[in-house]
Amino acid sequence: MKTLLRILLLPLVSTVNTTHAQTAEGERLFKQRCAMCHSLEQGKHLAGPSLAGVMNQSSARYDKARYSEALKQSGLVWDEKTLDAFLADPSKLVPGTRMMVRITQPQQRSAIIQYLATQNTSTQNLSNKAATP
């Protein structure tokens, strides 16, 4: 019985460990590749806008952040697919964007997006007006 239980639970434990490892890698990559321009603090904009609660939000959503006219007019919603395309080649998805950093490795993009999704849970219900001072 114990052996059967272990066999049944092994995929679940493995998935949890893999997700945790990918989130940890995403955090490391975010700090390395993104944090010099983007914060995860609601309303704290650096050279780029805050990415707090970014998942499933419209692009150029903050009044006080500096966006290119191209991004303002893009009408994008930041979901996994859109973020993946943007991080792979920002200028290809939004010609005229100010974002110049490209993350060419799919695994790195996936890890960063997974990490951003985990950061979304505490901020997803805040509105733009509440987010900007």
How high does pLDDT run on average in the chain? 83
* CA 27 to mean position of chain CA atoms: 10
Instruction: Report the alpha-carbon distance of residue 101 to residue 104 in Å, rounded.
Output: 10
pTM to 2 decimal places: 0.75
The answer to whether residue 6 scores a pLDDT higher than 90 is: no
For 38, the token pair is 């983007």
The answer to whether residue 107 scores a pLDDT higher than 80 is: yes
The answer to whether residue 120 scores a pLDDT higher than 80 is: no
Q: What is the dihedral of CA 36, 66, 54, 128, to 10 degrees?
A: 130
- Report percent pLDDT > 70 for the chain: 74
Query: Could you tell me how many residues make up the chain?
Result: 133
Confidence band of 124 (pLDDT split at 50, 70, 90): very low
For the stretch 50-102, pLDDT in tens is 999 999 999 999 888 999 999 999 999 999 999 999 999 999 999 999 999 99
Query: Between these two residues, 9 and 127, which has the higher pLDDT value?
Result: 9
